[in-house]
Amino acid sequence: MPEPYATFTSRVVPLPAENVDTDQIVPARYLKITDKAGLADALFRDWRFEADGRPKDPPFVIDRPEMAGRQILLAGDNFGCGSSREHAPWALVAWGLRAVITTSCADIFRGNALKNGLLPIVIEPDRHRQLLELVERDGDVELTVDLALGVVHLPGDEDLPFDVDPFSRLMLLEGTDELGYLVAHDADIAAWEASHPARVDTRPAGPAA
Amino acid sequence: MGHNHLPMPPSPSARTLVEKIWDDHVVAAEPGAPDILAVDLHLVHEVTSPQAFEGLRRRGLVVRHPERTVATADHSVPTTPRSLPILDALAAAQVAQLETNAREFGVPLHGLGDPSQGIVHVIGPQLGLTQPGMTIVCGDSHTSTHGAFGALAFGIGTSEVEMVLATQCLLQRRPRSYEVRVDGRLAPGVSAKDVILALLSKIGVGGGTGHVFEYRGSAIEALSMEQRMTICNMSIEGGARAGLIAPDETTFAYLAGRPHAPQGSDWDRAIERWRGLPTDDGAAFDRSVTIDAASLEPMVTYGTNPGMGLPISAAVPDPKSVGDPGRRRNLEGALAYMDLRPGQPILGQKVDVVFIGSCTNGRISDLRLAAAALEGRRIADGVRMMVVPGSDEVKREAEREGLHEVFRAAGAEWREAGCSMCIAMNGDQLEPGQYAVSTSNRNFEGRQGKGGRTFLASPLTAAASAVAGAIADPRNLPGIETLAAVGGR
């Protein structure tokens, strides 16, 4: 069960590349786990290390010493496209990230992120460009993410509003999850099933008599 | 068949195929909340399910409908002979965990050694589990494949796998609709793979985000079921979670008599229901795009996402011609990774490996096309060619038809079923720097092995390129006019 999503202030990890796919976020060879252990090390693995295992020189952005502890990723358009692997948000969260600011997120990634306390913040391209310029001018700029108000506070009392699905916002703020909501609707599910016969039977013997 | 090509005024009561399926599956819709959507069929594999089963254990929950759930091992399994053990300890543990979970929770499993084992998106249709009008989910983005039957099928994450195991439901917002109209006739040597790569090069990898594609038009109606699956499979590469094609006589003929398809009077009732599914005349789509089938060439990708595709006679684009700085950097990065020069023809680019297989192009008709192109020929010296059937049944059928002998005589490897080099987590992979022509679905950096470079293409283009040792145009294959009819189904 995730923690309630509280307002926080952090510096920014800039990664403005477009169409970053989930194979880059966690390469497939790290998907052979049966739990969620070790994923912070797998994060962006092939962008961080050479084929022989040496760290890249200069280091990939998340390995720069000043990036340690930062909780906001400033990403490019269509972040998280490709594979449905939930290992991608698991790894981003395991590294310490709590929000991804971008101009659009892939659908499956967005859903996976919201279920793991990682907030996708989608803003207009113009505002995204301004924010990127701000971070390029001052790498230590601090942003405050306030989910309850739906704004990112910028320095100088400027607010950047963003939209989040209201149901997802409620789930995040309360630290509850969708499975609990579904289980609480068991009576609705049972009633629907009573009036809708199964479409298929997966058992090898075929439909039971 | 209600295909009316005259423009119709939008009608408020007219619904699309997706809207009909959605309305049929809404369990509850509370204000402010997403719809609770019932799931008819849940497909499970070893990679994205272990944490979901563990979640059930932790919460003390059971699988609500094991008889609407089916599991197989495909992603991490070796494609070496089944008599050999799984050498990778992590992969072996993951496959063993799937077997334990299936047994403990009562989920039917087509594991290694089962005659129905195979890639999850190949065995669903093959067993007749995939049917029109259904909602189908799987912890795999290529679940969109099943949309070829007029089912609403989409990939989900592991948290959602746990939800569906526990409740047979999901929380979902209604998607927007995107009409993809493909009219006209495909030229010989141009196939379903080329249609979807052409769409992706037109709209980009994020073009369909928030939408569900519906593929329509005379070129789509003329396709076999397996070709339709190839197109729907790659909907996710355009950002659409699902892509559908209305069920028709081709769909019904494919399904009739399959093990889990309805039988007898159930079949007649099912057909009657399925005939009501196609999009009504006058139904409105949120977006629309049109492709002229006759104008398409064989397509091949040159970059590091599936939207970076070209007609095979074209040249690699020049980043200098791209105005948007973000797009330009993206293209520069892709060409640097691929080690390609702006303006170079893609034809003739050297190839080290050719891979035929995957949930995109690992079905029997794909193998028939590749074998027909290789009959009586040898692959070029220095090229490694792997042919990996999409399922154990596809493998048996190919061997009945003698296709494996054609592949072996040509110098290719004939292997066991699985995802293999499409995702390269089972040991089948490229070496750093190698170039592959692959019939799979993703050319992302490192997708087929760290440092490997992928050109996505059709089975015909892949086979022609294996013979040439370089990217080659399948339209120059002898007898190409008749080859297109080889696939069947």
B71-104, pLDDT tens digit by residue?
999 999 999 999 999 999 999 999 999 999 999 9
Query: Pick from B144, B176, B308: which is nearest to B241 by CA?
Result: B144
User: What are the φ and ψ backbone dihedral angles of B462, each rounded to 5 degrees?
Assistant: -65, -45
Test B54 with A179 for CB contact under 8 angstroms: no
Chain A: closest CA distance from residue B97 (Å) = 8
pLDDT at position B342: 98
> Which two three-digit tokens encode residue B71?
């599991």
* Alpha carbons within 13 A on the beta-carbon side of B74: 36
Q: Render pLDDT for B328-368 as a digit per residue (tens, 0 to 9).
A: 999 999 999 999 999 999 999 999 999 999 999 999 999 99
How far from the centroid of its chain's Cα atoms is residue B455's Cα? 16
In eight-state DSSP terms, residue B470 is B
* A140 inside domain: yes
CB pairs under 8 A between A and B: 209
A120 found inside a domain: yes
- Give the best residue of B39, B104, B107, B141 to mutate against chain A (max A CB count within 10 A): B141
* Portion of chain A with pLDDT greater than 70, in percent: 97
DSSP designation for B206: T
Residue A202 lies in a domain: no
Measured in angstroms, the CA of B333 and the nearest CA of chain A are apart by 10
Q: Which residues of A touch B73 (CB under 8 A)?
A: none
H helical segments located in B411-455:
none
Q: Which residues in chain B touch residue A181, judged by CB atoms under 8 angstroms apart?
A: 33, 171
User: Is pLDDT above 80 for A208?
Assistant: no
User: How do residues B162-207 score in pLDDT, each as one tens digit?
Assistant: 999 999 999 999 999 999 999 999 999 999 999 999 999 999 999 9
Give the residue from chain B lying closest to A167, CA to CA: B33
State how far Cα B157 lies from the chain centre: 18
Q: Is the confidence at residue A1, as pLDDT, over 70?
A: no
Quote the CA–CA distance of B138 and B130 in Å, as a whole number. Answer: 12
| Residue A51: predicted pLDDT | 84
- Minimum CA–CA partner of B71 in chain A: A202
Instruction: Return the residue matching tokens 């007029």.
Output: B150
**Cα–Cα distance for residue pair B365/B377, rounded to 1 Å:** 19
**Of the partner residues A166, A189, A204, the one whose CB lies closest to the CB of residue B169:** A189
Taking the C-alpha atoms of residue B352 and residue A40, their distance in angstroms, rounded to an integer, is 34
Q: How many other CB atoms are found less than 10 A from the CB of residue B264?
A: 7
Segment 132-191 of chain A within 8 Å of chain B by CB:
165-167, 177-179, 181-183, 185-186, 188-189
| Number of residues in chain A | 209
Residues of A in contact with B257 (CB under 8 A): none
Inter-chain CB proximity A82 and B210 less than 8 Å: no
The answer to whether residue A121 is domain-embedded is: yes
- CA B32, CA B230: separation in Å to the nearest integer? 37
CB contact under 8 A, A111 and B239: no
CB-side exposure of B128: number of CA atoms within 13 Å? 20
Residue from the list A78, A108, A200 with its beta carbon closest to the beta carbon of B129: A200
Contacts of A187 in chain B (CB under 8 A): none
Q: Determine whether the interchain pair B239/A78 forms a contact, defined as Cβ–Cβ distance below 8 Å.
A: yes
Residue numbers in A near B325 (CB within 8 A): none
Q: Which residue of A has its CA nearest to B143?
A: A84
Binned at pLDDT 50, 70 and 90, residue B9 comes out as low
Check if the beta carbon of residue B251 is closer than 8 Å to that of residue B150. Answer: yes
pLDDT for the residue B483: 75
Q: Which of B390, B396, B385, B397 is nearest to B359 (CA)?
A: B390
pLDDT of B102-136, one tens digit each? 999 999 999 999 999 999 999 999 999 999 999 99
In a domain, residue A93? The reply is yes
Q: Are A28 and B451 an interchain contact pair (Cβ–Cβ within 8 Å)?
A: no
Cβ–Cβ gap B50/A35 under 8 Å: yes
The pLDDT assigned to B5 comes to: 52
CB-based contact A34 B94, cutoff 8 Å: yes
Looking at chain B, the whole-number percentage of residues with pLDDT higher than 90 is: 94
Instruction: Tell me, yes or no, whether A2 lies in a domain.
Output: no
Contact A108 B241 (CB under 8 A): yes
Task: Kindly state the DSSP code that residue B73 receives in the 8-state scheme.
Answer: -
pLDDT above 80 (res B6) = no
B127, two tokens? 């067993």
The answer as to whether A43 is a domain residue is yes
In angstroms, the separation between the Cα of residue B51 and the nearest Cα of chain A is 6
Kindly indicate the confidence band of residue B486, based on its pLDDT and cuts at 50, 70 and 90.
Answer: low
Contacts of A26 in chain B (CB under 8 A): none
CATH number assigned to the domain comprising residue A64: 3.20.19.10
Residues of B in contact with A36 (CB under 8 A): 51
Q: Cβ contact (<8 Å) for B38 and A193?
A: yes
Lookup: tokens for A66 = 């000043």
**Which residue is closest to B240 within chain A, CA to CA?**
A107
Query: What is the chain A residue with the closest CA to B162?
Result: A179
Question: Which residue in the set A78, A112, A204 is minimally distant from B108, CB to CB?
Answer: A204
**Does the predicted TM-score (pTM) go above 0.80?**
yes
Q: Which residue of A has its CA nearest to B237?
A: A82
pLDDT digit string (tens) for B250-291?
Answer: 999 999 999 999 999 999 999 999 999 999 999 999 999 999
Closest Cα in chain A to B165: A179
- DSSP sequence for B75-131: SS---S-TTS----HHHHHHHHHHHHHHHHHT--EE-TT-TT-B-HHHHHHHTT---
Does a cis peptide bond (omega within 30 degrees of 0) precede residue A27?
no
Q: How far is B417 from chain A (nearest CA, A)?
A: 18
Nearest to B156 by CA among A84, A207, A50: A84
Residue of A51, A84, A198 lying closest to B141 (CB–CB)? A84
pLDDT for A3 beyond 70: yes
Residue A1 inside a domain? The answer is: no
Strands of B99-235 (E only): list them. 109-110, 135-138, 152-155, 169-172, 176-183, 211-216
**ipTM of predicted complex:** 0.96
Q: Which residues of B touch A189 (CB under 8 A)?
A: 27, 36, 38, 167-169
- Report chain A residues whose CB lies below 8 A from the CB of B425: 28-29, 31-32
- pLDDT tens per residue, range B363-409: 999 999 999 999 999 999 999 999 999 999 999 999 999 999 999 99
The tens digit of pLDDT for each residue in A30-60 reads 999 999 988 999 999 999 999 889 999 999 9
Helix (H, G, I), strand (E, B) or coil at B9: coil
Contact with chain B for residue A19, Cβ under 8 A = yes
Q: How far apart are CA A70 and CA A13, in angstroms?
A: 7
Q: Rounded CA gap, A119 and A112, in Å?
A: 10
Nearest by CB to B445, from A24, A33, A34: name it: A24
Query: Total domain count for chain A?
Result: 1
- Name the pairing type of β-strands A158-161 and A151-154: antiparallel
The range of the structural domain enclosing residue A123 comes to 8-194
For chain A, positions 42-101, list CB contacts with chain B under 8 A.
46, 51, 76-78, 81-86
Give B355's strand partners.
B386, B438
SS3 letters for chain A?
A: CCCCCCCEEECEEEECCCCCEHHHHCCHHHHCCCCCCCHHHHCCHHHHECCCCCECCCCCHHHCHHHCCCCEEEECCCECECCCCCHHHHHHHHHCCCEEEECCECHHHHHHHHCCCCEEEECCHHHHHHHHHHHHHCCCCCEEEECCCCEEEECCCEEEECCCCHHHHHHHHHCCCHHHHHHHCHHHHHHHHHHCCCCCCCCCCCCCC
Q: Name the minimum distance, in Å, from the CA of B466 to any CA of chain A.
A: 26
Nearest alpha carbon to residue B371 among B470, B456, B459: B459
Interface contact A182-B108, CB threshold 8 A: no
Summarised one tens digit per residue, pLDDT across range B200-252 is 999 999 999 999 999 999 999 999 999 999 999 999 999 999 999 999 999 99
Measured between CB atoms, which of B34, B41, B305 is closest to A200?
B41
CA distance A145 to chain B (A): 23
Mutate to test the interface with B, among A20, A83, A122 (most CBs of B within 10 A): A83
pLDDT, tens only, B442-473? 999 999 999 999 999 999 999 999 999 999 99
Contact residues, chain B, for A18 at CB < 8 Å: 326-327, 329-330
What is the pLDDT at residue A205? 64
Identify whether the C-beta of residue B402 lies closer than 8 Å to the C-beta of residue B53.
no
